[in-house]
Chains A and B, each alone.
Chain A
């Protein structure tokens, strides 16, 4: 599984990274996590704002910190 966290590195982006890390740890799912911080790189995903979470190429949430339970459900589907 490949996870990308889109955002230039604000506190909410960092919180999102932390929640994704916790969700991975708690579910035991193996994944690579990449932080995408470049404005043009982020623009390539067509998102209206950040932070955003992309799992295997599918954008799962935009402009908000996801709930850990939501992340877990994305990881285990």
Chain B
């Protein structure tokens, strides 16, 4: 949950499939790191899948959202469809040339590749923290 008043505005919601494979966990790790870097905020896809109104309505009302699926099965995309949430920016990790397997020793290069693809997908430049800018999560209404 946003700790700051009106903090959802101007903030990118990041949804990761977090599935049971290397690419599923790459989606999760990339979402965590992009949150730490102030690019956006990871949000609970399971809450949307569970049809909990706070999660579903948050996803419907957010201006900018990026969804990361590990593979073409597209579980995250399917969850949004089931919940009636429009898909916005979208990344499938296997489309980046990363092969799906069960090796959970994630490679730094692959995490970086996923993060870069997410930044490209949502039209964001370098991570705010890396660029020495204030993270978007601090924004508040006046």
Contacts and interface: CB of A to CB of B under 8 A. Distances in A.
**Candidate in B1, B5, B13 with the most chain A CB atoms within 10 angstroms:** B1
Interface in B25-66: 41, 43-44, 47, 52-62
Q: Is the interface of B mostly helix, strand, loop or mixed?
A: loop
B141 A62 contact: no
Contacts of A43: 1
B54 A49 contact: no
Interface range on chain A (Cβ under 8 Å from partner): 20 to 34
B131 interface: no
A46 to B, nearest CB: 3
A25 to B, nearest CB: 25
A54 B55 CA distance: 12
A22 to B, nearest CB: 20
Interface of B: 1-3, 5-9, 11, 13, 41, 43-44, 47, 52-62, 140-142
16 contacts: A7-B5, A10-B5, A13-B5, A42-B1, A45-B1, A46-B55, A48-B11, A48-B59, A49-B2, A49-B58, A49-B62, A57-B53, A61-B61, A62-B8, A63-B8, A63-B9
